[in-house]
Amino acid sequence: MTAPAARLRRALRFYVGKSLVLDAQLLRLERLPRRTRARLLATKLGALAQLASGREARVIAGSTSFRARSVLDLGSFQSCLIDVHDELVAPGLLGGSPSPVVVDVGANVGQFTIALKALVPGARIIAFEPDPDVHAALVRNTLGLEGVTTHCAAVGREPGRLPLYRHDVSVMSTLRPAAVETYDLARAVEVDIVRLDDVLAGIGPVDLLKIDVEGFELEALQGASRLLQRTSLLLVELSLARDEGALNLAVLEEVRRSNPNAHIVRFGRPLGPPDAPICQDVLIQLA
């Protein structure tokens, strides 16, 4: 199958299999103005055609826009809009502040960051993405957005450098490759590792810390013990089907060690096949 034909097939499969479901869910987001929802869906139609032809595409969400490089980027952006609305904004869990401080670890090309800015325009966001190529796309996506800063780095327990194993689906690139996924070792790239406690030592209270780093969550938290003590909410991905799923209890124990009164608020949607989900977000109240 030729590359254009493969792209068209993926776009059609996405549209028929998942896109319509996401559109229906998007239409009910009461905290996203009706006009914003309508314009997003209108620009999405053109975006799907551009993506099927191999071009980058842009969708507009209120005062923000998102540049997708694939239908997977587009689908993950829509999913982030729905999840941010349902898990954080609609329940009022960001404390009602017009300018909450959010740390986005594992930002990829900006799906979560831009979804949050679309729903909470005044949010101040510090985003971390280690892959230089993906970080460049993150910078393009957030260019001109007030209150957003980015760092081209991974986060961990100690500063240094480690190989990042790239996946064909960039959101699944990882510092800890799992047997259930396929990685091209020749495409691995050395990336900087920083500690959140070091980089964010000068900022005050944090409303939300989001960590989605494909199996490296424990190390990220171990380098953020002081930050956790002045953070209200933690949104962290737990592994289900990967080998590192055994570390989930260690992740939760690390959170409790820094915040003895921490408790789970809710679980997000499991991601992956219904009969074998790969991971799931958990939202934890810290303070």
Per-residue model confidence as pLDDT tens digits over 52-83:
888 999 999 999 999 999 988 999 999 999 99
Res 242: pLDDT = 56
Res 102: pLDDT = 98
pLDDT 10s digits, 202-261: 999 999 999 999 889 999 999 999 999 999 999 999 887 655 556 788 999 999 998 999
Overall pTM surpassing 0.75 (yes/no): yes
Number of structural domains (the chain) is: 1
Q: Tell whether the model's pLDDT for residue 3 goes beyond 60.
A: no
pLDDT 10s digits, 25-57: 999 999 999 999 999 999 999 998 899 888 999
Please name the residues in contact with 117: beta carbons below 8 A apart, sequence gap of 6 or more.
63, 64, 123, 125, 145, 147, 148
Is 20 domain-assigned?
Answer: no
Q: What angle do CA 113, 22, 117 make, to 5 degrees?
A: 20
Q: Tell whether the model's pLDDT for residue 144 goes beyond 80.
A: yes
The domain that contains 128 carries what CATH number? 3.40.50.150
Q: What angle do CA 162, 279, 11 make, to 5 degrees?
A: 95
Q: Can you say how many angstroms the Cα of residue 286 is from the centroid of all Cα atoms in its chain?
A: 20
Is 71 domain-assigned?
Answer: no
Is 6 domain-assigned?
Answer: no
Q: Can you say how many angstroms the Cα of residue 77 is from the centroid of all Cα atoms in its chain?
A: 9
Res 246: pLDDT = 62
Is 132 domain-assigned?
Answer: yes
The size of the chain, in residues, is 287
Is 185 domain-assigned?
Answer: yes
Domain that holds residue 85: 78-285
Distances (CA, A) of 251 to 22, 88, 224, 284: 30, 21, 12, 12
Is 35 domain-assigned?
Answer: no
To the nearest 10°, the Cα dihedral for 132, 133, 136, 142?
A: -100
Is 54 domain-assigned?
Answer: no
Q: Could you tell me the two tokens for 20?
A: 């319509």
Is 205 domain-assigned?
Answer: yes
Q: Tell whether the model's pLDDT for residue 95 goes beyond 70.
A: no
Give CA–CA dist 264/258, Å, rounded: 15
Residue environment code for 172-204, b if the CB has 16+ CB neighbours within 10 A, otherwise e: bbbbbbbeebebeeeebeebbbbbbbebbeeee
Res 175: pLDDT = 86
